[in-house]
Amino acid sequence: MLQELPTLTPGQYNLVYNMFSFTVATMTAAFVFFVMARGNLAPKYRISMMVSALVVFIAGYHYFRIFNSWEGAYALNEAAGMYQPTGELFNDAYRYVDWLLTVPLLTVELVLVMGLPKEERGPLAAKLGFLAAAMIVLGYPGEVSGDASLFGTRGLWGFLSTIPFVWILYILFTQLGDTIQRQSNRVSTLLGNARLLLLATWGFYPIAYMIPMAFPESYPSAAPGTVVALQVGYTIADVLAKAGYGVLIYNIAKAKSEEEGFNVDEMAQPAAATA
Ligand code: RET
């Protein structure tokens, strides 16, 4: 959807505008939260919060750029009462570059918080990270192609990207199943929830990607509703998959820290006493 944007009603334009603005705020706030919450965790689990913080920082930056790109791509035509494309590029590459950096990090977060032995951790994180990057790279040519049909460019690259996607899910639901079973009840429930949130949010992206395939003739220049739905859909999924998921990872790390005898209040007392 590079240059051929459709004309939008003010309601459609503003919905996307406000969603981008909300996401910049959410990612920034999540960054502050993850950095500050780090101290509540046993040192071993702090790295997973740093990875969460990196993910939302990268996303905050990209949403800021996406937001500016959206503003530049449209101008209000007052006579018509509609937002018309200015001819400036609405750059979808920001979204894909963001995913390319953050999606492998999200898989690393999950591996780190599981507290696996070192020799299992590295190879698993590398494998999941590589598959995640491959999934994003393969999706991009279809996203920016003008041919949105199921058996055309969008469908072909979407299919190729689904292969690493399914592979990741397979690893998460088979290999990691045993590791999750080995944890205490509380932690295994939390890890199970994180995995389900990952499935629910990640599953949303290929569905959003398929929306234009329903209207390949008119997409994108004559399909304002589809363009808006795609942007809003990806944005909601990003907030849940990054900030929401990071909070779940925090809860897991906190539960594990407590089980391993780390007590935040004891740590805080000496500082409070000197104050
Ligand atoms: C694409 C192309 C169509 C097929 C598939 C896709 C999967 C995308 C996913 C993206 C996840 C993004 C996340 C972002 C950050 O928070 C590329 C849309 C399977 C799963 C988690």
Interval 219-260: pLDDT, tens: 888 899 999 999 999 999 999 999 999 999 999 999 999 999
DSSP states of the chain as a string? --S-PPPB-HHHHHHHHHHHHHHHHHHHHHHHHHHHHGGGS-HHHHHHHHHHHHHHHHHHHHHHHHHHHHHHHEEEETTTTEEEE-S----THHHHHHHHHHHHHHHHHHHHHTT--HHHHHHHHHHHHHHHHHHHHHHHHHHH-S---TTSHHHHHHHHHHHHHHHHHHHHHTHHHHHHHTS-HHHHHHHHHHHHHHHHHHHHHHHHHHGGGGSTTTTTTT-HHHHHHHHHHHHHHHHIIIIIHHHHHHHHHHHHHHHTT--HHHHHHHHHHH-
Fold of domain 10-274: Rhopdopsin 7-helix transmembrane proteins (1.20.1070)
Confidence check: pLDDT of 136 > 90? yes
At residue 115, φ and ψ (nearest 5 deg) are 65, 40
At residue 85, φ and ψ (nearest 5 deg) are -60, 140
Ligand 1 within 6 A of 146 CB? no
- Binning pLDDT at 50, 70 and 90, where does residue 180 land? confident
**What percent of the chain lies above the pLDDT cut of 90?**
73
Query: Range with the lowest mean pLDDT among 191-195, 261-265, 270-274?
Result: 270-274
Instruction: State the closest ligand 1 atom to the C-alpha of 210, by its place in the atom list counted from 1.
Output: 3
**What percent of the chain lies above the pLDDT cut of 70?**
96
pTM: 0.91
Confidence check: pLDDT of 14 > 50? yes
Residue 56 alpha carbon to ligand 1 centre in Å: 16
Instruction: State the closest ligand 1 atom to the C-alpha of 245, by its place in the atom list counted from 1.
Output: 16
pLDDT of residue 270: 52
pLDDT of residue 1: 42
User: Which residues pair with residue 75 across a beta bridge?
Assistant: 84
pLDDT of residue 275: 45
Calculate mean pLDDT across residues 87-111.
94
pLDDT of residue 3: 53
Distance CA 51, CA 37 (A): 13
Averaging pLDDT over each range in 128-132, 181-185, 189-193, which range is the top one?
128-132
Q: Which two tokens stand for residue 179?
A: 């590791």
The residues spanned by each domain of the chain are 10-274
Ligand 1 within 6 A of 107 CB? no
Ligand 1 within 6 A of 141 CB? no
Confidence check: pLDDT of 269 > 70? no
Confidence check: pLDDT of 50 > 60? yes
pLDDT of residue 268: 56
Q: Which of 1, 159, 161, 245 to mutate to test the pocket of ligand 1 (most atoms within 8 A of CB)?
A: 161
Calculate mean pLDDT across residues 195-199.
90
Mean of all residue pLDDT scores within the chain:
92
pLDDT of residue 220: 87
Query: Range with the lowest mean pLDDT among 62-71, 86-95, 112-121, 266-275?
Result: 266-275
Exposure class string for 210-225: b at 16+ Cβ within 10 A, else e = ebbbeebeebbeebbe
